[in-house]
Amino acid sequence: MQEIAIIEKEVPDVIAQVQSILVTNNEQETRAVEFLKTIKAMQNEVHETFDPIVEKAYETHKEATARRNKFLNPLLEAEKRIKGLVSNFRIEMERKRLEQERKLREEAEKKAEAERQRLAKQAEKAAAKGNEEKAAELLARSEAVQAPTVIVEKQTVQQEGMGVRTVWKAKIVNPAAVPREYCIPNEKLIDSIAKSTKGTLKVPGVEFYEESNVSMRI
């Protein structure tokens, strides 16, 4: 298209001229504003030339995306559901494994403690009979008794083609208790306060300032 060819030639020339513009007095400001009008006019040309192309492409994209999502979204939901079922199953199996492991560990510790007590009592009896050597041996054996390490093997299997990894996440349950270093200031809210109060409201840690926004009509 001829319009695109003209734009391709004129825009780089205009951008190159921008680098030489300075605004340090009223005359330079006037020239800058006039040049700004040229830039705005050229922006309008770009919009008039490319917007119909963009809109047509967007409509095509939107239609194709809608057709794709009609079939893809249900499949994504199906995938999400199956993954949720697998995840919940594995979480529950791990909970049961840890619970079984805890109970077996407690039982093992009870047996170990009972053995320590038995040997300690035998040591007391030996000491009461004046057999210090035997008492010392029994006491040492009592102190050496340790519960065996208990490990319950996982019952889940590695499914072909499926990877499972544990991901730790955080959930805010009491926002007021979260330490300051983990909080992000609400800049949108602070900006609205700056606009509504014109910087008269004092907010600790915040500096309000004015910024000039130049607009141009052609």
Q: What is the mean pLDDT of each run of 10 residues along the chain (218 residues)?
A: 86 90 93 92 93 96 97 96 93 94 95 94 90 91 93 88 86 93 92 92 92 79
- Token look-up 């083609």 returns 161
Using CB atoms within 10 A of its CB, is residue 123 exposed (0-12), middle (13-18) or buried (19+)? buried
Token pair recorded at residue 32:
């800058």
Other Cβ atoms less than 10 A from the Cβ of 119: the count is 19
Model pTM greater than 0.85? no
How much is the pLDDT for 28? 93
Yes or no: say if 169 and 183 are a contact pair by the CB < 8 Å rule.
Answer: no
Other Cβ atoms less than 10 A from the Cβ of 50: the count is 15
How much is the pLDDT for 19? 87
